[in-house]
Structure 1
Amino acid sequence: MIAVIYGSTTGNTSDIAVKVAEMLGDENTELFDVKDVGLEIIDAFDQFIFAIPTWDYGEVQEDWEEVWEDVDLYDFSGKTVAFIGLGDQLGYAEWFVDAMGMLHDKIVAKGADVVGHWPVDGYEFDESKALTADKKSFVGLALDEDTQRDQTAERLEAWCALVKPAFL
């Protein structure tokens, strides 16, 4: 069972989390809003998809901010983890999906096995903390519901097909 954990202020990230759960199969996923459950459920799962939007100038969304320090309390050794980040690559080009990169770094430091890197092709941004070391990929699926909403469905389908074998 995959725990899909998200935080959402405007509803975009929760909508994406629901779509991912549907694409991977409701029988294989369980959805959790981080503001409702916190992180206590971490110990009950071995597979995770974390969905996090970036706010303003590279800031963590408010619900994630509430549990940010708690992430360090969990051991992710032997757990399979994937990330989805939402951001605005034109309005905030210097901080595109930074929160995804920051969460990724915290969880990797606690031993997680990460799947689901996503190519940077097709995006226009200046900087991102969510890039792999070679800067050719994001550490997870990057989505821009502000300027590239028309590409979200296709990206979601391709990314779910990419990560599904690692989870199921």
Structure 2
Amino acid sequence: MSTAIIYSFTSNKTAKAGEKIVAAIGKSFETTTVDADQLTEEEFLAYNQLILGVPTWFDGELPHYWDEFVPAIEEMDLKGKKVAIYGLADQVGYPENFADGIGILGRLMRERGAELVGETAIESYKFESSHAIENDKFMGLVLDQENQARLSKKRIENWVEDLKNIFK
């Protein structure tokens, strides 16, 4: 199985989290790092397993590099692909749409046939609402570097341990 971790190399906090995820994966399974700003449809479809980095921008929006790629994804058949999503969000500054980017991208992946993996608990966060919640869990790993940076290392480690059992 081939695995890509896709995030914007210029989105500082998302890129740093991506690097930490790659380091935590270590030699458990091989990953290729791909810049979301340069992503092509062919490259996206070339991998069986995807780890997608998506911060939530402004009032619950996807960053431009994912938003511009959505029309291509809407035409893709993602059956047979496993997708895990991590994202950065600010539960204090944007409590009414906390981590919405994960939910937007997660639902799109599932609508196109992908298997969404890597859900995480919503406990230990304080927010009003989030499109990233399904069945009382986040659809991926949520990191709040603005308010809970000290918890990110452990959250990444726990999430990657779960992925090691899913991504072979």
**What TM-score range do you get, normalising by the shorter chain?**
over 0.9
Once residues 107 and 50 of structure 2 are traced to their aligned partners in structure 1, the CA distance between those partners, rounded to angstroms, is 15
Q: Which residue of the partner structure matches residue 145 of structure 1?
A: 145
Partner-residue secondary structure (3-state), 1:42: helix
Deviations 1:132-159 (A, max 9, x none): 1x3x210000110111111000000000
Identify the residue that residue 19 of structure 1 maps to in structure 2. Answer: 20
User: For 1:28 and 1:19, how far apart are their aligned partners in 2?
Assistant: 15
Using the TM superposition, give the Cα deviation of residue 8 of structure 1 relative to its aligned residue in structure 2, in angstroms. 5.7
Give me the whole-angstrom Cα distance separating, in 2, the residues matched to 1:8 and 1:59.
Answer: 19
Q: Which residue of 1 aligns with 2:119?
A: 117
TM-score by length of 2: 0.93
Would you say the 8 A contact 1:8–1:61 is kept in 2?
no
Give how far 1:25 is off.
2.3
* Paired position in structure 2 for 1:3: 4
Please name the residue that 2:161 is paired with: 161
1:32 corresponds to 2:7: no
Q: Once structures 1 and 2 are overlaid, which stretch shifts more, 70-79 or 85-94?
A: 70-79
For 2:57 and 2:123, locate their aligned partners in 1 and report how far apart those are by CA, in whole Å. Answer: 23
Identity of aligned residues (%): 33
- Structure 1 spans left out of the alignment, 5+ residues: none
Q: Structure 1, residues 63-109: CA drift from partner, whole Å, max 9, x if none?
A: 11221221112211011111101110110000111011000001100
TM-superposed CA distance for 1:40, in Å, is 2.7
After superposition, the Cα gap between the structure-2 partners of 1:9 and 1:58, relative to the gap in structure 1 and judged at 3 Å, is farther
Flag as ranges the 4+ runs of structure 1 deviating above 3 A: none
The answer on 1:95 being equivalent to 2:126 is no
> Is the 2:109–2:116 contact (alpha carbons within 8 Å) kept by the matching residues of 1?
no
Partner residue of 1:70 out of 59, 69, 72: 72
Bigger drift between 153-162 and 8-17 goes to: 8-17
How far did 1:41 drift? 0.9
Paired residues, what number?
A: 166
Q: CA RMSD in A?
A: 1.4
Query: Are the equivalent residues in 2 in contact too, given 1:39–1:70 (CA < 8 A)?
Result: yes
> How far apart are 1:10 and its partner, in Å?
4.0
* Aligned amino acid, residue 12 of structure 2: G
Q: Structure 2 unaligned segments of length 5 or more: list them.
A: none
Partner of 1:86: 88
Assess if the C-alpha contact under 8 Å between 1:4 and 1:51 holds in 2.
yes
